[in-house]
Amino acid sequence: MNKIKTLIVDDEPLARKGLAVRLAEYDEIEVVSLCSSGQEAINVCQTQTIDLVFLDIQMPVMNGFEVARNLSQSIKALPAIVFVTAFDQFAVKAFEIHALDYILKPVDDNRLKQAVEKVHSYLKTQQDNAHKKKLASFVAGITGNNCEEILKKLATGDTLNDRRYPESLAVKEQGEIIRVPIVTIQWIDAAGDYMCLHCQDGQTHILRKTMKELEQELDPQLFVRVHRSAIVNTKQISKLVTQVSGEYLLVLDNGQELKVSRSYRDKVKAALAS
């Protein structure tokens, strides 16, 4: 991790210098400015990328809480904030506005070390999360997978699947080849070696493939097998109805009803819950 760019904000000159001297002992900390007022700290944060602010609470004109509130409203990436105070009763309020930590004056060496370690771990986690989110967004863009699901896989060490699924299916009709957009397909049923693609515009296109072959081509995040001879677009499902007999019936947005076989029941319920 790069150096932690740090501000010290305190209206007392000796307090600023004293904390700067102590922080100089930490290789990961780079104190970029000593600010004597809240407005000065805000100005620095608006013009530079600051990772950490040691912020005194009791200051004239603008106290530490007001500085934190102003920063949260005026900059995109709010730095980690460690409040510094001589008054312990401020601690609860400090955490209410999401301070990372607080330390009491006079600053104890061990307590300062704990705060620095906490900041270091926090910023490292934030960086790891940022990297994971960038990777997850990239993978989601090329596979169509849900970003949150990819983050879960990254967290558990699962292998990411970078397979790309087609956006349309090529269908041969009357000597022509037309492309049927995947998202327009409501449901598919089998007729021997032919698949009937039922679409939103009311048309049915015939595709010569087996159910198994077609199921392998379709994105499992979008399509679910509900019967040995039927696949449904989950985005088109209106509701799942339990009948008196105990069997399940899928009702699509267009009113079409499809029976759910026992062997696919759990899979369908899981798809609807996701």
Check which CATH number belongs to the domain holding 236 and give it.
2.40.50.1020
CA dist., res. 230 & res. 66, Å (int): 61
Residues 119 and 29 in one domain: yes
Whole-number pLDDT of residue 94: 65
| Number of compact structural domains in the chain | 2
pLDDT at 88 over 80: no
Same structural domain, 121 and 54: yes
Using the predicted structure, report yes or no on whether residue 140 has a pLDDT greater than 80: no
- Long-range contacts: 188-193, Cβ < 8 Å, 24+? 188/214, 188/223, 188/230, 188/231, 188/232, 189/229, 189/230, 189/231, 190/228, 190/229, 190/230
Q: Please give the sequence-ordered ranges of beta strands (E in DSSP) within 78-118, or none if there are none.
A: 80-85, 101-104
- pLDDT above 90 as % of the chain: 34
Shared-domain flag, residues 11 and 130: yes
Q: Is residue 117 part of a domain?
A: yes
Question: What is the separation of C-alpha 224 from the centre of its chain, rounded to a whole number of angstroms?
Answer: 25
151 occurs within a structural domain: no
pLDDT at 209 over 60: yes
Identify whether residues 265 and 196 lie together within a single domain: yes
Rounded Cα distance between 50 and 134, Å, is 21
Chain mean pLDDT for the chain: 84
Rounded Cα distance between 132 and 270, Å, is 26
Give yes or no: residues 19 and 75 share one domain. yes
Do 125 and 9 share a structural domain?
yes
- In this structure, the answer to whether residues 130 and 197 fall within a common structural domain is no
Residue 122 lies in a domain: yes
Work out the number of other CB atoms within 10 angstroms of the CB of residue 14.
8
40-51: average pLDDT: 94
* 108 in the same domain as 59: yes
pLDDT of residue 248: 85
Q: Residue 221: pLDDT band by 50, 70, 90 thresholds?
A: confident
| pTM score above 0.75 | no
Q: For residue range 151-175, list pLDDT tens digits in order.
A: 566 566 666 555 667 888 989 888 8
Phi, psi of 260 (to 5 degrees): -105, 120
- 247-259 b/e with 16+ CB inside 10 Å = b? ebebebeeeeebe
Q: Side-chain half-sphere of 252: how many Cα atoms within 13 Å?
A: 20
233 part of a folded domain: yes
Q: Determine the structural domain holding residue 221 and report its residue range.
A: 168-273
CATH of the domain at 42: 3.40.50.2300
One domain, residues 127 and 11: yes
pLDDT at 139: 58
118 plus 183 within the same structural domain: no
pLDDT exceeds 80 at position 129: no
pLDDT band at 65 (very low <50, low <70, confident <90, very high): confident
Report pLDDT for 95.
Answer: 63
**pLDDT above 70 (res 66):** yes
Rounded Cα distance between 4 and 23, Å, is: 11
Do 266 and 190 lie in one domain? The reply is yes
**Looking at the structure, do residues 184 and 120 belong to the same domain, yes or no?**
no
CB 59 within 8 A of CB 34: no
